[in-house]
Amino acid sequence: MSGRELAPYAARPERSRGRRHREPPPRGRSDYQRDRDRIVHSTAFRRLEYKTQVFVNHEGDLFRTRLTHSLEVAQIARSVARSLRLDEDLTEAVALAHDLGHTPFGHTGQDSLNACMRPYGGFEHNLQSLRVVDILEQRYAAFDGLNLTFETREGILKHCSLKNARTLGEVGERFVRKQRPSLEAQTANLADEIAYNNHDVDDGVRSGLLDLDQLAGVRIFARHMRAVLRQYPRLPPRRLRHETVRRMIDTLVTDLIRTSAENIRRHAPASIEEVRLAQPLIAFSPRIREESQELKRFLRENLYRHYRVVRMSTKARRIVTELFAALRSDTRLLPPEFQEQAAEGAPRAIADYIAGMTDRYAILEHRRLFAIEET
């Protein structure tokens, strides 16, 4: 927390609702620092390097992966947390863990696996992130999972259906009671939005799927690009793009801090318990909210539905769906450690196996199962 005192409404490690399995307190670091450290050391975290958001991993070396995305989210979230005197370590832990449960191939992978799992309770990446840190990581002698604090786990579970919430014990309670998570979790959540909107613009233009003329029709981009061009009329396109994106991030972060500080001042929560009962306090101003949504819509229509992205998605869907069907028809095709779990519940064990795959591993495994010639 960098020498500044935590605000009364911040999460406090010494007042944490604790871990599922009792452990001696950490030495020389707080419980939230320990959570963050455990996340960074996990296998699922390292796999993020080879999982994608929009572009498939082998498309190019310069695009964001889920790992660099998570680092960008953490960096933005920490700046906001520090300004608002929240616990930076908790904010960082939630940001770094928020995508741990993501399937290969971004949203298409998630949607495809969800469709395969529909008869067996569905698949939801948020819930899967929690499952990774609660159960699937196997590295500690005394317990399954990473045994994180309640506050980190609650932050990871950004949304959840009521039906699922009822099966999750204390971490699901807030959905039943319609309460809010910590301000640290709210901050990580909005930092996620700032990060992906901006890096998708950047990657979209870099890949040639979007161009600056199209983006000139999006208010928040146009406004910042005009300001850059007024100051630097002859700036080459690549630097124009970077400078515009940089300024957009700055505007969004500054607005988020200003609006949230104002909300906090108005509601004056005296503790994290009061935060849980209030409206969401970490928020954009109405104008920036609207502009940010316009940008999101633009990306959906022009980037995520671009025919080249759709082609990639179609292949990704086929890979996930065919992998699931093959493994479902014969669980002996699973690696031994998953066969054991498959004995208890085959579809869920298969979903865990597929969700844990990186893009390239899924492509390779698909080839191993379906190619007739030697691979």
Q: Report how far residue 276's alpha carbon sits from residue 94's, in angstroms, rounded to the nearest whole number.
A: 17
Question: Cβ closer to Mg ion: 111 or 322?
Answer: 111
- How many Cβ atoms sit within 10 Å of the Cβ of residue 265? 9
Stretch that binds Mg ion, among 93-101, 107-115, 324-332, 347-355 (CB under 5 A): 93-101
Helices 237-267 and 286-299: crossing angle in degrees, nearest 10, is 140
| Minimum separation from the CB atom of position 72 to Mg ion (A) | 9
| Minimum separation from the CB atom of position 44 to Mg ion (A) | 14
Q: Are 56 and 316 in contact (CB under 8 A)?
A: yes
**Contacting residue, 89, 151, 184, 192, with Mg ion by CB under 5 A:** 192
**Which own/partner contact pairs does 288-297 have at CB distance under 8 Å and 24+ positions apart?**
288/220, 288/251, 288/252, 288/255, 288/256, 288/259, 291/219, 291/220, 292/193, 292/197, 292/220, 292/252, 294/218, 294/219, 294/220, 295/197, 295/201, 295/218, 295/220, 295/221, 296/193, 296/197
Q: Are 339 and 331 in contact (CB under 8 A)?
A: yes
Question: Cβ closer to Mg ion: 125 or 180?
Answer: 125
Q: Which residue is nearest to Mg ion (CB)?
A: 192
| Minimum separation from the CB atom of position 193 to Mg ion (A) | 8
Per-residue interface string for the shown chain with Mg ion, residues 136-175, x marking contact by CB under 5 A: ----------------------------------------
Stretch that binds Mg ion, among 168-176, 191-199, 256-264, 345-353 (CB under 5 A): 191-199
Q: Are 19 and 147 in contact (CB under 8 A)?
A: yes
Question: Cβ closer to Mg ion: 30 or 53?
Answer: 53
Stretch that binds Mg ion, among 5-13, 129-137, 188-196, 245-253 (CB under 5 A): 188-196
Q: Report how far residue 334's alpha carbon sits from residue 350's, in angstroms, rounded to the nearest whole number.
A: 8
Question: Per CB under 5 A, does 193 bind Mg ion?
Answer: no
Stretch that binds Mg ion, among 131-139, 190-198, 201-209, 342-350 (CB under 5 A): 190-198
Q: Report how far residue 67's alpha carbon sits from residue 59's, in angstroms, rounded to the nearest whole number.
A: 16
| Minimum separation from the CB atom of position 323 to Mg ion (A) | 24
| Minimum separation from the CB atom of position 220 to Mg ion (A) | 20
Per-residue interface string for the shown chain with Mg ion, residues 95-134, x marking contact by CB under 5 A: ----x-----------------------------------
Cβ neighbors of 255 (< 8 A, separation 6 or more) are: 284, 285, 288
Question: Cβ closer to Mg ion: 52 or 149?
Answer: 52
Question: Cβ closer to Mg ion: 190 or 323?
Answer: 190
Q: What does the binding site for Mg ion look like in residue numbers (CB under 5 A)?
A: 99, 192
